[in-house]
Amino acid sequence: MDLDIFTLSNGIRVVHRPINRPVAHLGLLIAAGSRDELESEQGLAHFIEHCLFKGTQKRKAYHILSRMEDVGGELNAFTSKEETVIHSSFLSGDYARAVDLICDIAFRSTFPPKECEKEKEVIIDEINSYKDSPSDSIFDDFEELVFPNHSLGKNILGTIESVKAFTTEDIKRFLARNYSNERMVFSSVGNISTKKLKKLLEQQIDGLTIDKGNSRELTAPVKHLPISREESRSGYQTHVVMGTRAYEARHDMMRPLALINNILGGTGMNSRLNLNIREKYGFTYHLESFYHPYLDTGLFGIYLGTDPGTADRAIQLVHKELKKLREQKLGTLQLSKAKKQILGQFAMAQENNGALMLSFGKSLLLHNEIESFESIVNDVDQLKAETLMEVANEIMREENFSRLIFRNQQPSGFQ
C-alpha cells in the first residue's frame, strides 16, 4: 500500500494515499475528545464540534454548510472519547475547496455567541432523542458503571444542565488546552499528488499561530470493581449489557481479544452468540459482543435485547458460551476459519476509502504509526489456540463482569 507521511512546517502531521478514483476523502483529526474534559466540562468537546460550523472569519454558517454541498460533496464531523474529527468527501477536482474549508473551520472559527446559543437547543434535542432509545443509551450508562468518576465513563453529549452552562470562555479554554499542533493529523485518500496536497495545506496554515506544545496528559481510571444494576424502563424489550475492562490499544493481547470477540459475537451471522442463542432459541433479534480499545485501557462487553420473559435465560446462555471459550480450546480447523474470517472482513473494509482515510489518520494521531495489512495478516496467522484460551480466562470471567439491565415495564396502552 502506497502511503506518504510528512510533517507540515508548523508541526502538523499528514498521511496521504494517492489513488486513481473520482472521489476523494480528507479529514483533520484532533486528539481531543470527551476524556479530555474537566469535571465541569462534560459535553464540551462535542459542543465545540457543533459550534465549529457556526461561523468563521470569512464565512457564515450557511456558506460553511453549502460550500461542499454545492459541488456534490459532503462535510461532517464527529466527537468520540479520544478524538474530534472534521472530514469531507468530494470529487477529486475539488481538493483545494475541501482543504480551504476544513482549515477555515478548524483554525478560524469565531464561535458567534448567538449561533452557539441556538446550537445548545439542537444538542439538548439530541440528548432527549438519545434518552428515547434505550438500546443506545444503555451503552453509555454501562461505561459509567465500568469507568466510575472518570471522563471515559461520561456521556459524550453531556447533560442538559452542562450544555446550557457553556460559555465562549469555556470554549476558548478547552481549545487552548487541547488543540495543539502535535495533537493534529491531516489524513487524505484521493487522486492528488503528495506534492500538490502539501502545497495546498501549507498555503492554508501560512501565518497561523497554533500552540506547538501542550502534550496530552491522560488520567488513568481506577481499578474496576464489578457492579450490577437494574432499572425499570418503559418499552417492549429488556436490554442487557455485561462486560469488563480489557486491553489498551497497543497491548500484546489486543489482537487475540479482537479475534475472540469476532468469534463470539462479531459482525458475522455465524458468530457463536448468534448461532446458539438467536438461531437456536429465537430469543433475541439484536445480540453482539464488542471490544473498544482506548489509549490506556479498554472495554469488552456483550449486548442483547430480548423479551422480558426470556432475558434471564438469554443471560445464562451467554455465560455458557463464555465458559466454552475459557475451557475448550479451538480446533485447528476452527482457528483457521476464524482467522480467515477476520482477515477477510478487514480486507473488505479497506475497499471503503472514506473509512480507510479515518483509520490512517487515527493510527497516526494516537500511535504515530500506520500498520500495514501485511503486518496484520502476519500477526493473525501467528495466533495460537492456547493464547486465545489464556485471553478468554483473563477477560471473560463472570465474576469480573459488571452488568446493567433495563427491565421492561410496559406503560398503559401497550399491547
pLDDT tens column, 45-82: 999 999 999 999 999 999 999 999 999 999 999 999 99
Rounded Cα distance between 42 and 113, Å, is: 19
- How confident is the model at residue 415, as a pLDDT? 42
The conformational region for residue 282 under phi > 0 = left, psi -120 to 50 = alpha, else beta, is: left
**Selection from 348, 324, 343, 346 nearest residue 383 by Cα:** 343
Q: Is the pLDDT of residue 24 over 90?
A: yes
**Selection from 235, 231, 405 nearest residue 314 by Cα:** 405
Q: What share of the chain is helix, strand, coil (3-state, %, to 5)?
A: 50, 20, 30
Rounded Cα distance between 255 and 14, Å, is: 26
Residue 192 host element (H or E):
none
Backbone φ and ψ of 195, nearest 5°: -60, -45
Q: Is the pLDDT of residue 200 over 70?
A: yes
Q: What proportion of the chain, given as a percentage, has pLDDT over 90?
A: 88
The single residue listed with the C-alpha cell 478468554 is: 392
- How confident is the model at residue 210, as a pLDDT? 60
- Which band of pLDDT confidence, cut at 50, 70 and 90, is reported for residue 1? low
Rounded Cα distance between 137 and 155, Å, is: 9
Q: Is the pLDDT of residue 31 over 80?
A: yes
Q: Are 34 and 206 in contact (CB under 8 A)?
A: no
**Selection from 73, 315, 36, 39 nearest residue 180 by Cα:** 36
- Which residues contact residue 180 at a Cβ distance below 8 angstroms, ignoring those fewer than 6 apart? 210, 211, 212, 213, 214, 215
Name residue 382's amino acid. Q
Q: Is the pLDDT of residue 93 over 60?
A: yes
Give the mean pLDDT of 247-275.
Answer: 95
Backbone φ and ψ of 10, nearest 5°: -95, 5
- How confident is the model at residue 413, as a pLDDT? 40
**pLDDT tens digits, one per residue of 302-336:** 999 999 999 999 999 999 999 999 999 999 999 99
**pLDDT tens digits, one per residue of 207-248:** 676 665 567 888 889 999 999 999 998 888 999 999 999 999
- For helices 332-349 and 254-265, angle between their N-to-C axes, nearest 10 degrees: 100
- How confident is the model at residue 234, as a pLDDT? 83
Question: Starting from the edge strand earliest in sequence, which strands make up the sheet with 74-79, in order?
Answer: 4-7, 13-18, 184-190, 23-30, 84-91, 74-79
Rounded Cα distance between 45 and 53, Å, is: 14
Q: Which residues pair with 291 in a beta bridge?
A: 300
Question: Do the domains spanning 4-205 and 228-408 agree at the CATH topology level?
Answer: yes
- How confident is the model at residue 212, as a pLDDT? 56
- How confident is the model at residue 213, as a pLDDT? 54
Q: What is the 3-state secondary structure (H, E, C) of 211-236?
A: CCCCCCCCCCCCCCCCCEEEEEECCC
pTM check: above 0.75: yes
Q: Is the pLDDT of residue 414 over 50?
A: no
Q: Grid coordinates representing 395? A: 477477560
Higher pLDDT: 214 or 378? It is: 378
Give me the chain's average pLDDT, please.
94
Rounded Cα distance between 379 and 392, Å, is: 18
- Which band of pLDDT confidence, cut at 50, 70 and 90, is reported for residue 389? very high
Rounded Cα distance between 174 and 45, Å, is: 8
- How confident is the model at residue 412, as a pLDDT? 39
Rounded Cα distance between 71 and 92, Å, is: 11
Q: Grid coordinates representing 165? A: 452552562
**Selection from 331, 263, 341 nearest residue 302 by Cα:** 263
Q: Grid coordinates representing 298? A: 479498554
Q: Where are the domains of the chain?
A: 4-205, 228-408
Domain 4-205: top CATH class:
alpha beta
Q: Are 359 and 371 in contact (CB under 8 A)?
A: no
Residue 313 host element (H or E):
helix 311-327
- How confident is the model at residue 211, as a pLDDT? 62
Domain 228-408: top CATH class:
alpha beta
Distance between alpha carbon 27 and the CA centroid of its chain, in Å? 15
- How confident is the model at residue 23, as a pLDDT? 98
Q: Are 69 and 116 in contact (CB under 8 A)?
A: no
Rounded Cα distance between 110 and 131, Å, is: 31
